[in-house]
Amino acid sequence: MAEWRAGFTRFLRTEPLGAVSLVLIALVVLVAVFAPLVAPHDPLLQNRTRITEGPSAQFLLGTDDLGRDVLSRLIYGARSSMLIAVLTTAISLVLGTVFGVVSGYLGRTRDLLIQRVMDTIQSVPPLVLLLFMAVVLTPSIHGTIIALVIVITPSFNRVARAETLRIKEEPYIEAARATGAGALRIMTRHVLPNMMAPLLTMASLLFAGVIIAESALSFLGIGTPPPTPSWGLMLSEGVRYVEMAPWMVIAPGVVLSLAVFAFNLLGDALRDFLDPRLHR
């Protein structure tokens, strides 16, 4: 624990932009977790007498085409978007790492089979595959997560396999084999811990991509189903009223851009911090 605390402190000191990104991410996460306490109104409550009303003291970011509070929907939309992004990234990280380590360390038939499956997935354009999977699985949060996991997993697999091929040639792996350690023990005790840096960097960068992909699916109407608030869904609903009620598009667009910017910034900071070749 002391080592983690010291490393975190050094990260904040040496990567100021990373510290800024962590503040933004922490703000989004806190808002998502405490949405019921932070949101001023019920995000699903319709007020037909206050349709497309501009920002005011009662509705700080105005109302949408159904009289719902835009700020409250933004806050609850953070909960939906973060939940999908966290689950998608975590599941893809676990699956991609397992497949990559097994493929890279055991090789031969296992490597050939796993990599051909990954090649098949990656041969299809991501947007086309996402659209196909989202339609097949019907619009829902679970369907969106499954579709995104299928698209994202090969990226983690490639990184894990490449790192495994590098690590298994290291002297300490040979020493572990000489002491009688089995393949499973070597993979879990020696290979996995030494590839966490590039995997964490990849996860932070792909996290931003997942947020964009989920928003794109919701924008097209095949992601998070209405009336559940989602940033992409809010953009889709607001684009029809962009001239009459621009706040319906500006608010979710700005929040989405800041969230993606924060995770990309964190990914760059982690890469610089964890890669010793980039240290000055």
User: How confident is residue 161, by pLDDT bands cut at 50, 70 and 90?
Assistant: very high
Q: Measured between alpha carbons, how far is 105 from 211 in angstroms, rounded to an integer?
A: 32
Degrees to nearest 5, angle at CA 191 with 185 and 192: 95
Q: What is the pLDDT of residues 184-196, one digit of tens each?
A: 888 888 888 888 8
Span 88-101, average pLDDT: 93
The mean of the pLDDT values for the chain is 85
User: How confident is residue 2, by pLDDT bands cut at 50, 70 and 90?
Assistant: low
* Structural domain boundaries in the chain: 19-38+59-278
Span 135-163, average pLDDT: 87
Question: For residue 273, which of 1, 89, 13, 22 has the smallest C-alpha distance?
Answer: 13
- Chain centre to alpha carbon of residue 219: 17
Q: Which pLDDT does position 277 carry in this prediction?
A: 54
Q: What is the pLDDT of residues 54-93, one digit of tens each?
A: 898 889 998 998 889 999 999 998 888 888 889 999 999 9
Question: For residue 27, which of 78, 61, 63 has the smallest C-alpha distance?
Answer: 78
Interacting residues of 11 by C-beta distance below 8 A, sequence separation 6+: 18, 19, 269, 273
Count of all residues that appear for the chain in the document: 280
Q: 19-38+59-278: what fold?
A: MetI-like fold (1.10.3720)
User: How confident is residue 152, by pLDDT bands cut at 50, 70 and 90?
Assistant: very high
Please provide the DSSP assignment of the chain as one string: -HHHHHHHHHHHHH-HHHHHHHHHHHHHHHHHHTHHHH-SS-TT---GGGTTPPP-SSSTT-B-TTS-BHHHHHHHHHHHHHHHHHHHHHHHHHHHHHHHHHHHHH-HHHHHHHHHHHHHHHHS-HHHHHHHHHHHT-SSHHHHHHHHHHHHHHHHHHHHHHHHHHHTTSHHHHHHHHTT--HHHHIIIIIGGGGHHHHHHHHHHHHHHHHHHHHHHHHTTSSSPTTS--HHHHHHHHGGGTTT-THHHHHHHHHHHHHHHHHHHHHHHHHHHH-GGG--
Q: Which pLDDT does position 34 carry in this prediction?
A: 92
Interacting residues of 24 by C-beta distance below 8 A, sequence separation 6+: 258, 259, 261, 262
User: How confident is residue 153, by pLDDT bands cut at 50, 70 and 90?
Assistant: very high
Span 188-210, average pLDDT: 86
Highest mean pLDDT among 4-8, 266-270, 271-275: 266-270
Q: Measured between alpha carbons, how far is 155 from 137 in angstroms, rounded to an integer?
A: 22
Span 150-159, average pLDDT: 92
User: How confident is residue 280, by pLDDT bands cut at 50, 70 and 90?
Assistant: very low
Q: Which pLDDT does position 204 carry in this prediction?
A: 85
**How much is the pTM?**
0.86
- How many percent of the chain have pLDDT more than 90? 23
Does the pLDDT value for residue 141 go beyond 60? yes
Does the pLDDT value for residue 205 go beyond 90? no
User: How confident is residue 231, by pLDDT bands cut at 50, 70 and 90?
Assistant: confident
